[in-house]
Structures are given as structure tokens and as C-alpha cells.
Amino acid sequence: MPNFFWMLVVLGLLGGCAHSVEEADRAPPPISPGAVPDAIPYAEPITRAGNSSPYTVNGKTYTVLSSAQNYSEEGVASWYGLKFHGRATANGERFSAYEPTAAHRSLPIPTFVRVTNLENQASMVVRVNDRGPFHPDRMLDLSYGAAVRLGFADQGTAKVRIETVEVMGVSDLRSHGVDEYLTLQLGAFMNEATATALAADSQRLVNVPAVVFPATAEVGVIFRVRVGPFDTPGALINAQNQLRAAGLPQGQPIP
């Protein structure tokens, strides 16, 4: 499938979470909490897309922070799911309801944050790649999968704390003992044809094998797209830059 398909996806929305509070959302097929990984924090450039400041949504103006260093905040988190699954996030990446990502109104994109559910102390690391939620009483929108992992998908919202986490540059990866993170997971999809098309486009672009892995959810099957392994952490990050420039998901490093 040509890259034009993915460009249509990117152009379809300015941001997957930039929606009015009246729009309804719904949960995708359930997934086990253990199937949702932590995002792996590593140094990434701030993207041009998604970081315009100030910006206005629903008549209200917001400002993007110049830095996320030492950021900490408590408030209400919600989740977004099937309505936005496959749409473009604010920085042009493809939203997956199952990946460890989040939307925030003012943190730079991308930012890695640790989210702690203050109601049950469950905690995980997610990557902010979208804008929202634009609801006056909510601070953070998590993917449905992250909400499952944190234990509040069924209730819809939870009081959470978010804190930025230290990221690693390419030169730091080896000293931190994470050389094994040389594969990219580009997303998880309910449609096998969509996953297969993404794998084919990605493999042609980065010239590294891309494979579709079926995974059993609580109801049905999802299809994960993985690219790699790469020879070095630097090669992995270069591939992410190529994928991003082509309008494809840049993925998350996994073991």
C-alpha cells in the first residue's frame, strides 16, 4: 500500500485528542493489563508538529511549556479509545488505543512521564504525543490500554500524578544496560490488513524486517507490527526519524 494512504491518515486530523467534549468515545476490545508495556524513555527532538504555541481549541487558548524538566502535576485522567484509533495525533503519529501514550495540553511533544493512579498506586511510563484533553475538569488523556494498565478503564477517570522521567541519549543507552531494546513496535491494530500494510511500508523504508504478530486480547485478536532488530541503538533511532519523516508511526523500543 503506498505511503499516500498514511499521509491521508496524518492529514485527517490535526490531533487525535483535539475534540469537543460532546463527542462520544468507546472502548476497543479489552486487553490484559500485562499486555500494555511501559514506554521506554530516550532522548527525542521536540517535533515541529504539535508544539505550536499559543494555540486555541474550543475558544480557549493554551501555551506549550518550553521545557518539561522537573514537571509534576496532579489531577484527573481520562482515556480515549476506539473513536480515535488509527487517527493522527498532534505530531502526526498514528494513535493506537493499546499503546503507552497520552495527550496533555501543555507538555512539549514528545515528553515521557510517569503516571501514578493515586487511587490504587498503579504506575507506568507513557509518552505524550498528543494534545488534550480539552475538558475543563481533566488534566490528562491516556490511551485505553494505559487506562487498563492503571486500573481505571472501567470507571473512566481517576485521580493521578504525572512526573517527567529522565531520558537517555544514544550514548547513554549502553551504560544503562538497555542494549536489548533494538526492536520497534509500531502499533497494535484490530484490522490485520492495516497492520500488514504498515509492515510493508515500514520495511521498504528502513530496509529492516517488519513482522505482524497476532496477540490474543480478552475478546478477539489484535495485530502488533514490529520492525527490527537493528544493529545498534543509533540505527534504531535513525529508523524512527525516517519513519516520522515519512508520516509513519515511529514506534516504541521493546526488548
Average pLDDT, the chain: 82
Judge if 14-164 and 170-254 fold alike in CATH terms. no
Span of 10-19, 84-93, 169-178 with lowest mean pLDDT: 10-19
| Choices 1.10.10.10, 2.60.120.10, 2.40.40.10, 3.90.1150.10: CATH for 14-164 | 2.40.40.10
Check pLDDT > 90 for residue 25: no
Per-residue pLDDT at 241: 85
- Domain spans of the chain, in order of start: 14-164, 170-254
**Stretch 150-169: mean pLDDT, rounded?**
91
Identity at 208, one-letter amino acid code: V
pLDDT tens digits, one per residue of 103-145: 999 999 999 999 999 999 999 999 999 999 999 899 999 999 9
- Give the SS3 label for residue 215: strand
How far is CA 225 from each of CA 32, 107, 154, 188, 190, rounded to the nearest angstrom?
Answer: 18, 28, 27, 6, 11
Band of pLDDT at residue 68, cut at 50, 70 and 90 = very high
User: Which architecture, in CATH terms, is 170-254?
Assistant: 2-Layer Sandwich (3.30)
Per-residue pLDDT at 22: 42
Can you give the pTM of this predicted structure?
Answer: 0.68
Band of pLDDT at residue 79, cut at 50, 70 and 90 = very high
One DSSP character per residue, 137-164 reads T-SEEEEHHHHHHHT-TTTS-EEEEEEE
Check pLDDT > 90 for residue 254: no
pLDDT tens digits, one per residue of 176-228: 446 566 889 888 887 888 889 999 999 999 988 999 988 776 656 788 899 98
Check pLDDT > 50 for residue 45: yes
Check pLDDT > 50 for residue 10: no
- Give the SS3 label for residue 57: strand
Per-residue pLDDT at 172: 52
Per-residue pLDDT at 76: 98
**Stretch 165-183: mean pLDDT, rounded?**
61
Per-residue pLDDT at 173: 47
Band of pLDDT at residue 168, cut at 50, 70 and 90 = low
Q: In the chain, what percentage of residues exceed pLDDT 90?
A: 44
Tell me which range, 9-13, 45-49, 118-122, 179-183, is most confidently predicted by mean pLDDT: 118-122
More confident residue, 110 or 249: 110
67, with CB counted inside 10 A (0-12, 13-18, 19+), is exposed
Q: Which of 180, 181, 249, 190 is nearest to 224 (CA)?
A: 190
